[in-house]
Structure 1
Amino acid sequence: MRVRSDFRPERTVVDGYFSRLLKRCSLFSFPTEINALIHEPKNRYHPFTYDEMECFCGSDDAENFFSSADRIYIAHDILSRTRYGRGDRVGIENMLKSEIYTAAYPLHEYLDYENLRSRPCREEEERTAYEMRNFSTRQFLYWIWAKLRYFYKFQPLFLIKEYFGSKIAIYFVLVGYYTRFLVPCALLGIFCFLYGFFTISFDLPSNEICRKDGIANDIIMCPTCDRWCDYTRLNSSCFYSKLSYIFDNISTVIFATLMSLGATLFIEGWKRYNADVAWRLGLLDTGSHEEGIRLAYLLQSLRSSNIRDPYTQRREPDVIPLRRRLPTILASGVTVIFFLCLILGAVIGTIVYRIVLMQVLYRVDSVRPIAAIFTSLTTAVLNLIVILIMSYFYSFLALKLTDWEYPRTQSEFEKSYTVKVFLFQFINYYSSIFYVAFFKGNFSGLPGRRVLGLRPEDCDPAGCMVELVILLATIMFGKTVYNAAMEFFNPVILTLFRGCTLKIRESRSQKSERFRRQRRREMDSAIVRVPRWEWDYSLTPTYEQFLFDEYLDIVIQFGFVTLFVSAFPLAPLFALINNLLEVRLDAYKFVVATRRPLPERARDPGVWLSIIDIISNAAVLTNAFVIAFTSDFIPRMVYLSRHPSLEGYVNSTLSLFESSSLHAPDWSQWHNITACWFRDYRKPPCTLRSSADCDDAYGVTNLWWVVLAFRLGFVVVFAHAVLAMKAFIAYIIPDLPTRVFIQLQRQRSLSLGGLTDGTRSV
């Protein structure tokens, strides 16, 4: 609770250097008159005690002493622990499950529903400070936070915390800080893309492939699949080779290194910024809060307890021993592993789809030239659809499994649920990407190689990088569009039909009376007749884990931005555009379109920060392997170490294959081909070249071992160097800013005694 300034001196709030720099630019701030209405009080905070009530702000105003969020929190805590019958009939949640009540939710403050409902998409005039002087907190949030036109403005964090609670406020703090981090990353990514685009004409390997005369026209490449794929000339991969160079050049290697270090700077900077904002919002100096036991745990312990009250003979709750919880925990773990394997099965399904579609398309003469690119695009879209569908199922499954384990406290529940959801979604989103990046090109091997009687699919002669880029771009762009559509159209539709879709159960007379009101034409009078709780009932209901989904989207997006940035440098740009829209669409959703969520307390994102840290460390390894094994960076560097330029590089990466074991399609013009080329470092068969360095088993050449050694060496050096720099950065940057540390220590020294101890400050 905030303490009156005459009992404790006001806090000193000093912004960081970057925040001060942004605040100097009036573009990002609201006018001074509006800032004065939404200013953050600098009173110190102290745990509330009834004996010292007169020391707290607003003690003379009983109606407004507690903030709106605090009142809701207290009321819900009372309702959650109130008995309504014998046995385990405790709490409002059980009453909802028993359908005694249809819903239970805190009420929103007043908002002008008439204007929102009439034309929600129209351009509304800006409100002046004079018009806002009597606004409620919700009205302030609607006009200065939920408007998309203010996407570049600072968020009113204090109002968010006062209205929705600190847990939701911390989420928006994280999204805002993460969006700032993406700005320089997006600019660097655009630079990498433009560098590749404007220097593509100077790339000798792609120029060699694209020549219509010369070696590229004479080299016949082996089919990439059986029976339906035909032999092709090397220059048919011209488009793929040019596109591959745009995303696979020296600038992307530098960018991947900078992003790996930038991820650490983001985490360390977030810890400091989080402490800064938490101090400013009074979340650091509020004392310790004892965490309560979850009601579900109490009820289960009550059912299984043998302890009885000696006077009433009622069962008393007892600790559930681990031996009783262990079977459910083990069963939950086995279920998680099973469904993780099921996700991998879905990846195999998309591989089969790709093989079948390739065979179908190659039968049609008109689409045969674009069969490869069309198959890559449709496979990526299919991956996206499967991902979006399975996401809902895995979240539901994780919730049921976590409930089954009966965690003791809410924090234990959140950690267990978060880990399950993240594991599910990590495999769901990234499994197909990992397959294309690290396994697809290696599984194919020789053109005649078969696994279980089938030939594994192969990459284009230009490599797997283009397919990886297409897959990353499709999933990331598709997810961005899907999220934006769901965030925007769902609230707008609900706003349009809010007055006509009330679903409260009622008698026939009430129902007939309601239909006679003619809401569509006279909603102004309907607003008077319909109570506010009924209007809020028609809004989208919130659920207990709604904030988990928001955090999960950010974490999955952070994975795309860091894990595979060496393959797709435009990922930060996509993420930046998504977040600029997401913040305001989420704000509109919370303020207008959904029921008011229960305020919860938090000082930081909790276990999500640990997950982000794990992803940032994993990004070092994934980028190292993408650069070393998926891109052509290492083979090119090895070739340059032996030659003055890359002229002749393409020919050095090709190997000869005796094609009698391959089956060309009936419509092929290459039936008399006896030899073809494929991309690898293999010795030619002795039937084609009788030399000392031939091998009918297609053994690898010495150059293959040299390239492999350099690839492994690059992974080791890159990973250790970047991880060492990350550790050094994390070591030298303290988690708590000095200015906050000094103020916090002073606050704690003042809090050793009561508020009434000593004299008042003057």
Structure 2
Amino acid sequence: MRVKMPVRQNDIQVREISTLELLYRFLDFDDKTKKRFNEPEYFTTPFIGQHLTSYVNYEDKENFFPPAERSRMVFDFLIRSRYDAVATEKYRIGIDRLISNGTYTAAYPLHEEMICRRDVRDDEELNDRQLLFHHWATPRNFYKYQPLDLIKRYFGTKIGLYFAWLGYYTKVLFPAAVTGLACVIFGVSTLSSDIPSNDICGSDGIGSRVYMCPVCDSFCDYTPLNTSCAYAKISYVFDNPSTVFFATVMSIWATLFLEGWKRYHSEIAWKWGVLDFEVEEETIRPEFQFKIRQKRLNPVTQEFEPYLPVGQRIIRLIGSGVTVIFFLCLVIAFVIGIIIYRTIVMQVFATMDDSYFQANAVIITSVTSATINLCFILILNYFYSWLALKLTSWECPRTQSEFDNSYTLKVFLFQFINFYSSLFYIAFFKGKLSGVPGKHDRTHRITIDGTRLEGCDPAGCMVELVIQLAIIMCGKQFFNAFMEIGYPLVMNMFRRWKLRIPETRKQKDARRRKEKQTEMGKMPSGRVTRYEWDYALNPIYDQFLFDEYLEMVIQFGFVTLFVSAFPLAPLFALLNNILEIRLDAYKFTVTTRRPLAASARNLGMWNTILDGISKVAVLTNALVIAFTSDFVPKMLYMFTHSSLLGYVNDSLSYFDSADLVIKHSDYKNVTVCRFKDYRKIPCSLAGRMPTSLSGECDDDYGYSFERWYVLVARLAFVLIFEHFVFLIKAFVAYVIPDIPTKIVIQLQRERHLARQARITQDLASVDSTNTFCTQMDEDGGIQPHKLEKAFSQDTDEVAQQPDALYDGTDPIPSDEMRKIMRHQPRPSLSSVPSDEAAGFSGIGTHRISRNDLDEEEYVTSTHVPGEAEEKEGIGRSNSVESFYSCGNANGSTAHLNRPNA
């Protein structure tokens, strides 16, 4: 188990607070409170028991290790301890198996006791949990920064990184929310000057003279174009000239967010000592050991370990993959069901005599279908999480990282299709497959039981996309907020009632008074122990943090993938996240058991998923602007006509009403209706109506030349937009380094100090009678210029390599030496660099005897007696682990590869 502990306080000069930071001081806590929150910055190194006195505060045995690290150690002991002395069963170990077989009901670290606020007068008297509750979990501090150091100290690095990421994500949402709100305000302020919507709504415009064709073939009636006035106005508010600018900004914002998070993460990770965290030796999952009975000799450890044959592994992966594909298709089937529902409901509303339902059929259908879709999404969400866990367990991955990656991939695929499939349909397919009005099968189109699919409103599908996105995104957020605060409170009340915990507030106060009256105080009868109170809290399940990340990643998709259709998405996400931080804080601090502390270097696979979403968002926004909105056709029409006058008329095609069979109509005298598409005019109307752009007619309503003209412009826009944005994203990612310069300097400083400490310790460990030959002068003292070169190279002008003793050159070890160093878990000896081998230094503490130093040749040694096996082609005879250049006047290394060395 790897733990990094402080060895020396950071002596790098802290930069002064900038003027901009002074403006935001109201977001921070006062200096006295911050002193309790923040930890001093130390240089850290992995903990080694033999070097205990080298660490800060080593005398305080009770508080030497932080609480989170202590709980990690205890749990590590529990999961690795054998609970049965029977030698016949190898894997009867660990608390997890005892819980699974019912021996124990739970195992969890204890929370610190919640002290009543009126019993204390100062924050100094509060424990860490109480500090988190009063300064982090309470809603009144919603605008304050998070006490990340205190969160990490109490809950561990993994949870601390989650809240650091969530806080940073929320902070960078603010400029995006302001920009999106500004775009909507721009749309509202310029609405009165929008020519197309005025043409539809005006009494003297085309909306009062044109009738639209029925949306269904038998029961629906004509509708005046001006009934789409509200949709046209709403569509312009969200789809105006600022949309392209906002989509470009948001695509670049996603890159800035990811690059900024890398830099911020570097600062947090360095301060918490996990910037160089690696899983040195990943253990086998207990479930893999229990389920797999076949064993094979591990060539590395030379021990028999459970082994899953490749054939069985492939069968499990294929079975799991087929199941995943089947349920992904099931999600698509639900989307098709929603499409059928919309088609049927539109026909029902069209046949009603009530003019209100006829006029608002599109909005009512969109709202009800989106609500039904949301309900299915929330239900399937829990089912798919359960299914993904079962499938991943059935696959039986060998290590925990393999398990996490497989589970993450399945759940994200399920949720991606579950949440976004209906949005992709409305944005890119609705209205494109319905064909022309009428039952005549003149064109290739998709029908449901002979009924063609519903098309878009004359104002476009943008309004329906906005409604669908707003309901799914906001509805999901409200539901999650309730589940995070309401459900745990209800379950806590039920569990406490079930346990019938006897201690009331009055009894609690009486107990405390009695405890204060005695020095040690015997436990009063009837007192509820700490572990009983914590047992009444909601349990923490294994994937609790995974679900928190998944919720935010899905929200990130809403904010970026379809932001051109709903510019208010960042604003709603910002408001949700401000509440989310406090709800999660309250949940972890008050309503749930204390999670097991865990270490993590970064977000893991979520970084890759976020980066992938940011790239896909560029393409989806380009397609939404080009094919869902009317931005490209409007710009093309304005380029050719210098104005948008007549654009609505140009975007509508003609249809001969004689080809329609309407059972009941209130518009008996309509001979020509219009529908939204670029089609050729029928020859029966060619003499009475303006001809098409090409002057041709077609009774089969074929596509006009203008349609291909617009299609080319749409595709050109997509190519130009995505190339331009990707170029800017690549440039931004290139010019912004992932690790800030100040962190690089502190890393170099930390390594330099560690190197100095190792050399000092090695020099002190050598007996005073030993001779360094090349490193000592005639009087037996160490040459001063050697020490000066080894210890005094850090200056403002010289940037020393962190892993080399600087003497003016940076030597490169040979291939053989690199192999030797790579296979050494801990080098056994340090040597002061000689003239010809400058820059090489060992870092161990192995002591060589006087007899070894008297030898004429170089000395080889190993940590364990007899340990000199051949590794990667390096024979025993040619192996050199460490050496001294003693007994040679000039310190030559000519005998380095002697067979006897």
TM-score (norm 2): 0.77
Pick which of 578-587 and 440-449 moved more. Answer: 440-449
Among 365, 370, 382, the residue aligned to 1:380 = 370
Other-structure match for 1:207: 198
Corresponding residue number in structure 2 for 1:686:
683
Q: Deviations over 1:635-670 (max 9, x none)?
A: 00110111121111100001111234434353x213
- Matched residue of 1:676: which SS? strand
- C-alpha spacing 1:319/1:750, structure 2 compared with 1 (3 Å): farther
Instruction: Answer whether contact 1:228 1:358 (CA < 8 A) is retained.
Output: no
- Which residue number in structure 2 is paired with residue 510 of structure 1? none
* Cα distance in structure 2, aligned partners of 1:436 and 1:748: 56
How far residue 696 of structure 1 moved from its aligned partner, in angstroms, is 0.9
Opposite residue 241 of structure 2, the aligned amino acid is I
- Residue 634 of structure 2 corresponds to residue 633 of structure 1: no
Which of 533, 536, 552 is the equivalent residue of 1:535? 533
Deviations 1:442-488 (A, max 9, x none): 11121235525221111111110000011111111111211222222
Select the residue among 474, 497, 501 that pairs with 1:500: 497
Aligned to 1:414: 404
- 1:347/1:169 Cα in 2 relative to 1: closer, same or farther (>3 Å)? same
Contact kept, 8 Å, 1:23 with 1:29, in 2: the verdict is no
Q: Which amino acid aligns with 1:77?
A: D
CA contact (8 A) 2:9 2:41 kept: no
Name the stretch that deviates more: 271-280 or 673-682.
673-682
Question: Which residue number corresponds to residue 593 of structure 2?
Answer: 595
Cα distance change, pair 15–547 in 1 and its aligned pair in 2 (3 A): farther
Residues 484 and 609 of structure 1, relative CA distance in 2, 3 Å threshold: same
Sort the Cα spacing of 1:342 and 1:271 in 2 relative to 1 into closer, same or farther, 3 A. Answer: same
* CA deviation after TM superposition for structure 1 residue 196, in Å: 0.3
Task: Compute the RMSD of aligned alpha carbons.
Answer: 2.6
Q: CA deviation at 1:521?
A: 7.8
For structure 2, the 5+ residue unaligned runs are: 439-444, 513-525, 765-790, 792-901
Distance 1:496 1:100 in 2: 26
Residue of structure 1 equivalent to 2:305: 317
Residues 499 and 523 in structure 1, CA contact (< 8 A), matched pair in contact too: no
SS in 2 for 1:362: helix
**Structure 1 residue 41 displacement after superposition:** 1.7
Q: Look up the SS of the partner of 1:46 in the other structure.
A: strand
Amino acid at match of 1:377: V
**Correspondence list, 1:36-435, <5 A:** 36-85=35-84, 86-112=89-115, 131-284=122-275, 289-301=280-292, 303-305=293-295, 316-366=304-354, 367-435=357-425
Q: Are 1:563 and 2:561 counterparts?
A: yes
AA in 2 matched with 1:630:
T
Q: C-alpha separation between the residues in 2 aligned to 1:12 and 1:545?
A: 39
CA distance in 1, matches of 2:310, 2:372: 43
1:757 equivalent among 761, 764, 777: 761
Pairwise CA distance, 1:214: 4.2
Matched residue, 1:509: none
The answer to whether the Cα contact below 8 Å between 1:11 and 1:743 also exists between their aligned partners in 2 is: no
Pick closer, same or farther for the CA change 1:38–1:519 going to 2, 3 Å: closer
* Residue 451 (structure 1) aligned with residue 447 (structure 2): yes
Corresponding residue number in structure 2 for 1:118: none
Structure 1 CA distance for aligned equivalents of residues 369 and 604 of structure 2: 36
Using the TM superposition, give the Cα deviation of residue 497 of structure 1 relative to its aligned residue in structure 2, in angstroms. Answer: 5.7
> Residues 155-214 of structure 1: CA distance to partner in whole angstroms, max 9, x if unpaired?
111111111111111110111111111000000001000000110000000000002344
1:697 corresponds, among 687, 697, 700, to 700
**Equivalent runs, 1:740-751 vs 2, <5 Å:** 740-751=743-754
Change (3 A) 1:524 1:495: farther
Moved more, 478-487 or 675-684: 478-487
State the Cα distance separating 1:55 from its structure 2 match: 1.7
Map 1:538-687 → 2, pairs under 5 A: 538-666=536-664, 668-671=665-668, 673-687=670-684
Range with bigger deviation, 183-192 or 484-493: 484-493
* CA 743–325 in structure 1, closer or farther in 2 if over 3 Å, else same: same
1:463 aligns with 2:463: no
CA distance in 2 between partners of 1:24 and 1:349 (Å): 54
**Distance between the aligned counterparts of 2:199 and 2:668, measured in 1?**
26
* Corresponding residue number in structure 2 for 1:730: 733
339 and 630 in structure 1: CA distance in 2 versus 1, 3 angstrom threshold: same
Q: What letter is aligned with 2:72?
A: Y
Once residues 460 and 553 of structure 1 are traced to their aligned partners in structure 2, the CA distance between those partners, rounded to angstroms, is: 33
1:11 positional shift: 5.4
Q: Would the aligned equivalents of 1:328 and 1:404 in 2 still touch at CA under 8 Å?
A: yes
Post-superposition offset of 1:249: 0.7
Following TM superposition, by how much is the alpha carbon of 1:68 offset from its aligned partner in structure 2, in angstroms? 1.4
Deviation by residue 1:470-518 (Cα, 9 ceiling, x = unmatched): 111111111121122222223444565664342xxxxxxxxxxx68x48
Greater fraction of residues in helix: 1
CA displacement at 1:519 relative to structure 2: 5.1
Q: Cα gap change, 1:593/1:225 in structure 2, threshold over 3 Å: closer, same or farther? A: same
State the AA in 2 paired with 1:436.
I
Q: Percent identity?
A: 52
Q: Deviations over 1:336-388 (max 9, x none)?
A: 11111111011011111112222333343333322221111111111111111
Instruction: Say which SS state the counterpart of residue 596 (structure 1) adopts.
Output: coil
- How far the C-alpha of 1:523 sits from its partner, in A, is 6.2
Letter of the 2:580 partner, please give it: E
Deviation at 1:152, TM superposition (A): 1.4
The residue matched to 1:460 in structure 2 has which SS?
coil
Cα contact 2:8–2:55 (8 A) shared by 1: no
Contact 1:284 1:744 in 2 (8 A): no
- What amino acid maps onto 2:175 in structure 1? P
Residues 17 and 674 of structure 1: is their aligned pair in 2 closer, same or farther, counting only changes over 3 Å? farther
Q: Give the superposition deviation at 1:10.
A: 2.1
Q: Deviations over 1:607-657 (max 9, x none)?
A: 101100000000100000000000000000110111121111100001111
Contact 2:331 2:417 in 1 (8 A): yes
Aligned AA for 2:333? G
CA distance in 2 between partners of 1:672 and 1:730 (Å): 63
Are the counterparts in 2 of residues 47 and 287 from structure 1 also a CA contact under 8 Å? Answer: no
Answer 1 or 2: higher relative contact order, Cα 8 Å, separation at least 6.
1
State the one-letter code of the partner of 1:490. Answer: Y
* 3-state SS of paired residue (1:45): strand
- Kept after mapping to 1: 8 A contact 2:446/2:452: yes
Report how far residue 267 of structure 1 moved. Answer: 0.7
Q: State the secondary structure of the residue aligned to 2:468.
A: helix
CA distance in 1, matches of 2:13, 2:255: 26
| 1:231–1:664 contact (8 Å) kept in structure 2 | no
Contact 2:9 2:40 in 1 (8 A): no
Whole-angstrom distance in 2 between the partners of 1:703 and 1:84: 79
Q: Report if the CA contact (8 A) 2:276-2:601 is conserved.
A: no
- Residues 399 and 749 of structure 1, relative CA distance in 2, 3 Å threshold: farther
Provide structure 1 residue ranges, at least 5 long, that are not aligned to the other structure: 116-123, 309-314, 503-513
Measured after TM superposition, the shift of residue 256 of structure 1 is: 0.3
Q: Cα offset for 1:87?
A: 4.8
- Paired residue secondary structure (1:595): coil
